[in-house]
Amino acid sequence: MKHILDVSQFTRKMVDSLIHNAHKMKTIISSRGIYDVMHGRTLISLYYEPSTRTMCSFQSAMIKLGGNNIFIADKHSSVEKGESLEDTIKTLNCYGSAIVLRHPVKGSSQIAAAVSDVPIINAGDGNGEHPTQALLDVYTIYSELGDIGGKVPYLPMRILFMGDLKNSRTIHSLTQLLCLYDNLEFIYISPKGLEMPSELVEKINSCGIKQTSHYHLLEAVSIADVLYVTRIQKERFTSENAEDARNLSMQYQITPKIMGYAKPNAILMHPFPRNHEITCDVDTDPRAVYFKQMQYGLYMRMAILEWVMKY
């Protein structure tokens, strides 16, 4: 049985295999529209937090694989009556072939996996990790730039991470997954108090990846090959600090003017939802690949579902 709980479980060989299979899914769906290998299997989506892209892409992926879906939101389940996560997972084991879990508490996917007889797929646990987002992000970089680690020998690929680095589970997972690759450099820009967690910085440093914190947006944008932007995670703030969250979200913003300083072949990514950090008039810039990123997510999640459930 294969759970997907965090990125530490992946090797370079495993990630490369998933990228290959995601590309295979893209080719098959483009020509046939369906890849019927999950007939008779059911995916259960259990969401304790809101979701659009993760939820829809997993459900669409299961449909295109020929399987079925059951969606459960905590407000429409016995969780409202006080049922524990463990009991909910044991119950859903009776009805599904795998469970996609999104939960506000860091480490919840490990708790679920400990009592589950079917694969658990972590779809985000608080400010912990979001491993399948990281996998689709790596697939996006690979597909758009043709390589990871720099196409020109001896020149590192510079990846700019911007936004709420403290609470972004997508960045926490992606930076760790990218540690499997060579010739990379990470650049960080964040509002004060929302910097990358020190323990994660130390972990990445141990992988030999150069990390730099910048405070000048134009300078950072001008040298980046990948601009990875995230929103301020206002739901992680207390109600008393809600105004602070709104103000912080306006502190760094990508506009057409800012993109004028970016490299001609750079790509701009965002896991969405977005608030004020990228203006909508950037959407027409061919370097803005965040909607393509969502499409890549469908193919990667098809590859993931086949991997955890086929055998």
Which pTM value belongs to this model?
0.93
Q: Of 54, 132, 140, 230, which residue is the catalytic one?
A: 54
Closest CA to 252 of 285, 224, 276, 280: 276
User: What is the per-residue pLDDT for 215?
Assistant: 80
Q: Of 3, 26, 103, 130, which residue is the catalytic one?
A: 130
Residue 30 lies in a domain: yes
Residue-wise pLDDT tens digits, 167-198: 999 999 999 999 999 999 999 999 888 999 99
Q: Of 24, 53, 246, 287, which residue is the catalytic one?
A: 53
Residues 52 and 169 in one domain: no
What is the C-alpha separation between 34 and 45, in angstroms, rounded?
Answer: 21
Residues 138 and 275 in one domain: yes
Mean pLDDT rounded to a whole number for the chain? 92
Which CATH number do you get for residue 112?
Answer: 3.40.50.1370
Residue 117 lies in a domain: yes
What is the C-alpha separation between 18 and 89, in angstroms, rounded?
Answer: 26
Number of domains in the chain: 2
Residues 139 and 24 in one domain: no
Residues 286 and 302 in one domain: no
Residues 200 and 303 in one domain: no
Closest CA to 234 of 178, 167, 292, 287: 167
Instruction: Reply yes or no on whether 130 is catalytic.
Output: yes
Sequence-ordered strand ranges (E) for the chain: 42-47, 68-73, 98-103, 120-125, 157-162, 184-189, 210-213, 226-229, 267-269
Q: Which residues pair with 100 in a beta bridge?
A: 45, 121
Asked if pLDDT for residue 64 goes beyond 50, the answer is yes
Closest CA to 123 of 3, 240, 293, 9: 3
Residue-wise pLDDT tens digits, 255-276: 999 999 999 999 999 999 999 8
Residue matched to tokens 């769906």: 29
- For 33, the 3-state DSSP assignment is coil
Q: Which two tokens stand for residue 101?
A: 């879990």
Residues 52 and 151 in one domain: no
- For 194, the 3-state DSSP assignment is coil
Residues 213 and 260 in one domain: yes
Residues 204 and 250 in one domain: yes
Residues 145 and 282 in one domain: yes
Instruction: Reply yes or no on whether 102 is catalytic.
Output: yes
Residues 186 and 143 in one domain: yes
Instruction: Reply yes or no on whether 263 is catalytic.
Output: no
Instruction: Reply yes or no on whether 41 is catalytic.
Output: no
Residue 2 lies in a domain: no
Which domain, by its residues, includes 176?
Answer: 131-293
Distances (CA, A) of 199 to 167, 190, 265: 13, 17, 33
Which residues are CB-neighbours of 152 under 8 A, at least 6 positions away? none
Do you know the residue count of the chain?
311
Q: Of 3, 102, 169, 231, which residue is the catalytic one?
A: 102
Residues 74 and 158 in one domain: no
Residue 231 lies in a domain: yes
Asked if pLDDT for residue 207 goes beyond 80, the answer is yes
Instruction: Reply yes or no on whether 53 is catalytic.
Output: yes
Residue 1 lies in a domain: no
Q: Of 81, 216, 238, 284, which residue is the catalytic one?
A: 81
- Where does the pLDDT of residue 24 fall: very low under 50, low under 70, confident under 90, or very high at 90 and above? very high
